[in-house]
Amino acid sequence: MAEPTNPRPRILYSAAGPEPPFPLRMEGTVISGFGRGSKELGIPTANLPVDAAATPWIADARSGVYFGWASLALPRTHPDASSSSSPPSSTTTTTTTNNNTDNPSSSSSTTPPPSFQIYPMVMSIGYNPFYKNSVRSAEVHILQAFGADFYDAPMRLLILGFVRDEKDYSGLDALVEDIRVDCDVARQSLAREAWTPAEGVVGGGSGTLDGSWLVR
Ligand code: ADP
Ligand code: RBF
Ligand code: MG
């Protein structure tokens, strides 16, 4: 394919920041999806349960592609887990055996829960017409490579905008090509100051968006 083909705009909405009804929030634990090999296509998607009791707005939400920020509380053993909030444990075991005397906030041997880290994301909410699903799914592609899976991790989403309606395609290549463009749209739209959280974004970058709910 020699032509630059896809004429879709890469930056959506005003530089001034998200517009109502956004931001929308969603949270849950990462579950197994349909097992269709999204990972092999280079677009793994972390699935969340679609639960109108926990996420009231979702029942009326337009099906389609959205973008925003995801936060993950990765277990300490995960290769991409944050190291800033806790000292390395495996290399400092020479003289101490599980004592917490240097940590006044910890009264037992339990370690504090992992902290949330923020990543840019693009997601689909809908029936995936290419696969003709009968139940609605919510799946999030985080715009970063991970060293390991993170099933069962707590995930929060701050959804900031709508990209497009979901579509059917004549083949998998066309679907994947459109998702690649969605990723580009998300990345470029989120890169602006008013669209970037003030704190907690993995790999740096900070803006003026209130992303405090993602990390608390
Ligand atoms: P499933 O059908 O179980 O959702 P996928 O092929 O969509 O399988 O892979 C999803 C899993 O891949 C996620 O649950 C997560 O553990 C892992 N994963 C690794 N990298 C990413 C990423 N960048 N975005 C989303 N999930 C990722
Ligand atoms: N599935 C569809 O059937 N139609 C779509 O338009 C569509 N768009 C998607 C956009 C994004 C950003 C993502 C992450 C997924 C999308 N999907 C869509 C879901 C896709 O079919 C699913 O992730 C498959 O598992 C990919 O193999
Ligand atoms: Mg998935």
Mean pLDDT by 10 residues, the chain (216 residues): 72 98 98 90 96 95 98 96 58 43 52 89 97 96 97 98 97 96 98 97 94 96
Q: What is the pLDDT of residue 2?
A: 52
The two tokens of residue 75 are 């277990």
- pTM of the shown model: 0.89
Question: Residue 63 domain-assigned?
Answer: yes
Looking up residue 70, the CATH number of its domain turns out to be 2.40.30.30
Interval between CA 192 and ligand 2 midpoint (Å)? 25
Find, among 72, 162, 76, the residue nearest to 125 by Cα. 162
82 within some domain: no
Catalytic-residue membership of 139: yes
Tell me, what's the pLDDT at 76? 94
Q: Is residue 101 part of a domain?
A: no
The pLDDT value recorded for residue 205 is 87
- Quick check: is 58 in a domain? yes
Torsion of the alpha carbons at 141, 182, 52 and 54, rounded to the nearest 10 = 50
Does residue 93 sit within a domain? no
Prior bond of 112 cis (ω within 30°): no
Q: Is residue 202 part of a domain?
A: yes
pLDDT value of residue 102: 47
Is residue 84 assigned to a domain?
no
Give residue ranges with CB within 6 A of ligand 2. Answer: 34, 36, 38, 41, 43, 45, 65, 122-124, 128-131, 139, 141, 166-167, 175, 179, 182
Residue 18: inside a domain: no
pLDDT of residue 41: 87
Atom of ligand 1 nearest to the CA of 30: 14
Atom 9, ligand 2: residue with shortest CA distance: 124
Q: Which residue range(s) make up the domain with 165?
A: 24-74+114-209
Cα 33 to averaged position of ligand 3 atoms, centre (Å): 5
What is the pLDDT, as a whole number, of residue 6? 66
